[in-house]
Amino acid sequence: MSTDSPNPAAPTFPDPARSAAASLPDWVPPGSELDPKFACRVMAGVAPNSPPPIQPPPAKRPKLSLDEYTQGVLAADIGILSRAITLVESNHPTHQALAQQLLTRLLPHTGNSTRVGITGVPGAGKSTLIETLGCLLCDQGHRLAVLAVDPSSSVTGGSILGDKTRMENLVRNPHAYIRPSPSGGSLGGVARKSRETMLLCEAAGFDVILVETVGVGQNEITVRSMVDCFLLIMLAGAGDELQGMKKGVIEIADLLAVNKADGDNVQRANLAAAESNRVLSFLQPATAGWKTRCTTCSALVPATLTELWGAIDKFVLATRASGAFAARRERQAVEWMHAMIEEELRQRFFRNPRIQLLLPDLERQVASHQIPAATAAQQLLRCLP
Ligand SMILES: Nc1nc2c(ncn2[C@@H]2O[C@H](COP(=O)(O)OP(=O)(O)OP(=O)(O)O)[C@@H](O)[C@H]2O)c(=O)[nH]1
Ligand SMILES: [Mg+2]
């Protein structure tokens, strides 16, 4: 029922605001005591009941063809690269089909970058560190893409905002490209889009890709599975539990760095790094043939980040020489394919109308122990074509 057409049978009550307004002149001066219905005052210069300003409709950009996308990305046209990323981020089936065609064409031009994942608890200084390190790398002649993997950011908007404000200089650097986390909802969705974005950036000639992720949930494992080198940024005295040491993040890292080693925090940072190195000596390294170490750094002292990048460089050289680098990339590509198959099968299963019909009842029967879970699962799986 429309709110404009009240039910004639319903009793009517006087609306105090309306009656007060009815007795007022058309125009109440700003700040006037005559206006009893609002606590705030009418702004000067705004006529009452003026219609909202008419916004011109957003200009529609012409669609790009597959050739235009391909040539634009390969020519490092940032406008077209951004549109190509929006294409791979889209959930629309037509966009997804075009995105896959584009990726197939660009695949021979991908893979020529150093992919580095950066994780750490919120506030560890990841974005600030990326800002300083990123500017150093650009000065050295690198072309840098910074991506974020943060499934929560689509809800809170947190890291998107943080990244923009913490990377003021990098945002303006013509050799850097910063892309906030895609809003994919699930971690799987965000990860797919980020991985494909990484490939697009490589095809556009970016030779260093930094992927920032917040150290919560499964994020680290996902980012580890898409990068060559994984860096854990820590804080002195933040507690092992918080920093993921207990949940095994330290075991998947190739390099650890205690950040904010500046001012009177240097000594505490050195102690924390020594303690981490002691723990590391008992652990299996994340990459065969590489000894994971913990160092210190400060996002405010560029020289410490030059050293940190030196350690990453060493890692890349050593693993390329040993073959671990190429082996990991091959493994990652195959694992990626498996993950995509699982995701697709999952979606087909839960979208199937017959399954949607049977599922609630079977869930109830399983919950109340009337039928075994495996029997119910088999019954549902038989519905798949
Ligand atoms: N003293 C000092 N402060 C730092 C350093 N790095 C970052 N900070 C400060 O720490 C705060 C958090 O930094 P961010 O770079 O936003 O941290 P983050 O890890 O990206 O945080 P999330 O994106 O929320 O996960 C900011 O106030 C920074 O200015 C550092 O090396 N030394
Ligand atoms: Mg950040």
Return averaged pLDDT per consecutive 10 residues of the chain, 385 residues in all. Answer: 40 43 44 47 55 71 93 96 93 91 96 94 90 96 91 54 69 92 71 90 97 79 92 84 68 94 94 91 89 95 97 96 95 91 88 95 96 96 91
Ligand 1 atom closest to residue 297's alpha carbon, by position in its atom list:
31
Ligand 1 centroid from CA 162, angstroms: 10
Ligand nearest to the CA of 219: 1
Ligand 1 atom closest to residue 299's alpha carbon, by position in its atom list:
31
Q: Is 12 left (phi over 0), alpha (psi -120 to 50) or beta?
A: beta
Which residue CA neighbors atom 8 of ligand 1 most closely?
Answer: 125
Which residue CA neighbors atom 13 of ligand 1 most closely?
Answer: 125
Q: Tell me whether residue 43 is exposed, middle or buried, using C-beta atoms within 10 angstroms of its C-beta: 0 to 12, 13 to 18, 19 or more.
A: exposed
Ligand 1 atom closest to residue 265's alpha carbon, by position in its atom list:
1
Please tell me the predicted confidence (pLDDT) of residue 219: 80
CA distance 148 to 59: 29
Query: Going from the N-terminus, what domains does the chain have, and what CATH number goes with each?
Result: 64-109 (1.20.5.170), 110-321 (3.40.50.300), 334-381 (1.10.287.130)
Judged by DSSP in three states, 88 sits in helix
Please tell me the predicted confidence (pLDDT) of residue 61: 79
Which residue CA neighbors atom 23 of ligand 1 most closely?
Answer: 159
Which residue CA neighbors atom 25 of ligand 1 most closely?
Answer: 122
Enumerate residues 6+ apart whose C-beta is below 8 A from 17: 37
What order of strands is seen across the sheet that includes strand 144-149? 176-179, 144-149, 208-213, 114-119, 229-234, 255-258, 293-296
Which value, to the nearest 10 degrees, does the dihedral of the CA atoms of residues 375, 376, 377, 378 take? Answer: 50
Ligand 2 centroid from CA 323, angstroms: 32
Q: What is residue 181's DSSP assignment? A: P
Please tell me the predicted confidence (pLDDT) of residue 218: 78
Which residue CA neighbors atom 30 of ligand 1 most closely?
Answer: 260
Ligand 1 centroid from CA 300, angstroms: 10
Ligand 1 atom closest to residue 122's alpha carbon, by position in its atom list:
25
Please tell me the predicted confidence (pLDDT) of residue 267: 94
Note whether 258 and 273 are within 8 A (CB).
Answer: yes
The binding-site residues of ligand 1, defined as CB within 6 angstroms of any ligand atom, are 120, 122-128, 159, 162, 166, 214, 259-260, 262, 298-300
Pocket test for ligand 1, best of 119, 128, 169, 243 (most atoms within 8 A of CB): 128
Ligand 2 centroid from CA 14, angstroms: 54
Please tell me the predicted confidence (pLDDT) of residue 78: 95
Q: Which residues surround ligand 2, an ion (CB under 5 A)?
A: 126-127, 162
- Kindly state the tokens that stand for 274: 């020594």
**How many residues in the chain?**
385
Please tell me the predicted confidence (pLDDT) of residue 148: 85
CB count in 10 Å sphere of residue 298: 24
Ligand 1 centroid from CA 298, angstroms: 10
Note whether 166 and 159 are within 8 A (CB).
Answer: no
Please tell me the predicted confidence (pLDDT) of residue 243: 64
Ligand 1 centroid from CA 185, angstroms: 26
The closest alpha carbon to 304, from 313, 295, 294, belongs to: 295
Ligand 2 centroid from CA 262, angstroms: 19
Ligand 1 centroid from CA 190, angstroms: 24
Which residue CA neighbors atom 7 of ligand 1 most closely?
Answer: 125
Please tell me the predicted confidence (pLDDT) of residue 161: 43
Please tell me the predicted confidence (pLDDT) of residue 21: 42
Note whether 178 and 163 are within 8 A (CB).
Answer: yes
